[in-house]
Amino acid sequence: MDRREFALGAGALLAGGAFGGAALAYDGAIGSRARSLHRRAIVVDANLGPPLTSDQLPLPQATLDLARNAGVSAIKTSMGGFNAPFEDTLAEIAFYQRLIEAHPDYFRQIRNVGDIAAAKRARQVGIIFSFESAACLEDKVDRIDLFRNLGVRVMQLSYNTPSPFGAGVMSPADATLTELGRQAVARMNEKGVALDLSHANPATTAAAIAASTKPVLITHAGCAAVHDNPRNKSDEVMRAVAEKGGVFGIFDLFFTAPSPRQPNVDDYIAHMTHALNVCGEDHVGIGSDTSFDTMEMSAEERAGWDAETQRRIAAGVAAPEEDGRLPFTEGLNRPDRALVIADALLDRGLAPRVVEKVLGANFIRAFAEIW
């Protein structure tokens, strides 16, 4: 399922260490310090579905207003799903290009970090084109050049299962970066495409970090030390990303808490503060991996979601604990989730400087070094 299908099909409607401290009892009240910081920060969400309630253009004005008022300057949006072929991926890119052309006052394609700053000034949502896997390359490394020219700036080598380039988190432990994967990493480094290892298994991750000459990213994951799940990363992996100059993004997904409980803001902040302790304040960000706006589901939509979950399990691409829980964190299921995160981190005693880095400055710095 690609990000556009996710936004539409999920029924998204407008409707303890150096960093840490006592458990946060988040009551929903946003403080003035957080509001002020959120207004001045350049907010980057490194994995977020687009603000779509229809695949028909132009979009409704209510959708455009929601996008503008969320306070997000850039989102990395995945195109082509986790296994779309070349032609389907081109069609997905073309849709986003039409979206931006239809609403140039509200959206901007991000090709460089200057575009992110421009989106902030214009109160636009910048869209960073990205791939959740390399399936669309179809083992042709030179297609990286084509997609880079079309604006793709972030790419993964594999989804949860093995690919011709590397292995995902549901692959055998000894599956790793392939020779074709090494060629792809070198081409991405040369052309200025960021390597994202969010879905890679530990062996592929270690090999890709070693092969890369530029910082690498994990745009959306959690911390295995907080909750053990294949989609959450070990401290060793997190440190390696930071030591390479990269950024580790914390997601909103249910993988941050044990099943069957829906995660809450306390869970999210536990992962965020652990990542800050392990990686340092310059190497942690936000990568929500959910829908842009508030997710609400009718009974029919919920049945569709459950059916999609069962299809993923049957296909062998689902990670453990994909058990029907909805893909959001309670308290962050809102367009201005970064504001809630800022408030929670400030309440935990983090310096405004650190919070502003988490909200977007860290990813902007890494993008500048890679692109």
Q: Which domains does the chain have, with CATH numbers?
A: 3-370 (3.20.20.140)
**Which tens digits make up the pLDDT trace of 307-365?**
999 999 999 999 999 998 999 999 999 999 999 999 999 999 999 999 999 999 999 99
Q: Which contiguous run of DSSP H or E holds residue 367?
A: helix 362-370
User: Angle formed by the axes of helices 265-279 and 337-347, to 10°?
Assistant: 70
Report whether the peptide linkage leading into residue 263 is cis, meaning its omega lies within 30 degrees of zero: no
Task: Count Cβ atoms within 10 A of the Cβ of residue 342 and give its class: 0-12 exposed, 13-18 middle, 19 or more buried.
Answer: buried
Tokens (6 digits) for 144: 């990286």
**Which tens digits make up the pLDDT trace of 120-166?**
999 999 999 999 999 999 999 999 999 999 999 999 999 999 999 99
- Residue with more model confidence, 17 or 198: 198
**Which tens digits make up the pLDDT trace of 198-238?**
999 999 999 999 999 999 999 999 999 999 999 999 999 99
Q: Taking a C-beta distance cutoff of 8 angstroms, is the pair 267, 199 a contact? A: no
Report the C-alpha gap between 322 and 47 in whole angstroms.
Answer: 19
Report the C-alpha gap between 284 and 250 in whole angstroms.
Answer: 8
> Whole-number mean pLDDT of the chain?
92
Full-model pTM: 0.94
**Contacts of 314 by beta carbon, 8 Å cutoff, 6+ apart:** none
Can you tell me the mean pLDDT for 88-105? Answer: 97
Report the C-alpha gap between 15 and 339 in whole angstroms.
Answer: 18
Task: Give the pLDDT score at 81.
Answer: 87
Report the C-alpha gap between 219 and 77 in whole angstroms.
Answer: 11
Q: C-alpha 96: how far from its chain's center?
A: 17
Task: Give the pLDDT score at 15.
Answer: 34
pLDDT over 90 at 33, yes or no: yes
**Which tens digits make up the pLDDT trace of 282-292?**
999 999 999 99
Q: How confident is the model at residue 40 (pLDDT cuts 50, 70, 90)?
A: very high
Task: Give the pLDDT score at 1.
Answer: 43
